[in-house]
């Protein structure tokens, strides 16, 4: 009798798992060091970060996890997003400083006279 109940429940569980369009996001993308990263590295990292967070958000919506697992994944994603945003802000600050220096060097010098 138990087997007769267990088999349909098992098939139902497999069917439910097949409905989720994504897998659990296990590996976080690498965040480049803003002090030395190029524009291409930061853009690539941003695309990977967006993909990772979208995959996680979609997986959260599937409802396969208990409350503890759900909260752990949310915390992991929030921490990742905060770390990425911090590096992105540092990168933007660094590139803005470089642009400001380049602009200052390009300005014509107005010489002061000793008159």
Count how many residues are written for the chain.
115
Is the pTM value of this prediction over 0.95?
no
Per-residue pLDDT reduced to its tens digit, 52-73: 999 999 999 999 899 999 999 9
pLDDT over 90 at 18, yes or no = no
The whole-number pLDDT of residue 5 equals: 58
Per-residue tokens: 30:
């690498």
Residue bearing the bigger pLDDT, 115 or 2 = 2
Alpha helices, DSSP H only, in the chain?
Answer: 2-19, 39-62, 67-106
Average pLDDT value for the chain? 81
Q: Provide the 3-class DSSP secondary structure of residue 63.
A: coil
């Amino acid at each position: 009798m138990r087997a007769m109940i267990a088999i349909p429940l098992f098939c139902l569980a497999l069917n439910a798992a097949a409905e989720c369009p994504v897998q659990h996001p296990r590996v976080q993308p690498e965040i480049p060091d803003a002090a030395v990263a190029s524009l291409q590295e930061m853009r690539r990292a941003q695309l990977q970060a967006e993909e990772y967070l979208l995959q996680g958000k979609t997986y959260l919506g599937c409802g396969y996890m208990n409350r503890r697992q759900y909260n752990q994944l949310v915390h992991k994603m929030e921490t990742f997003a905060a770390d990425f945003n911090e590096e992105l802000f540092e990168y933007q600050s660094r590139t803005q400083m470089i642009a400001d220096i380049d602009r200052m060097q390009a300005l014509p010098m107005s010489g002061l006279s000793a008159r």
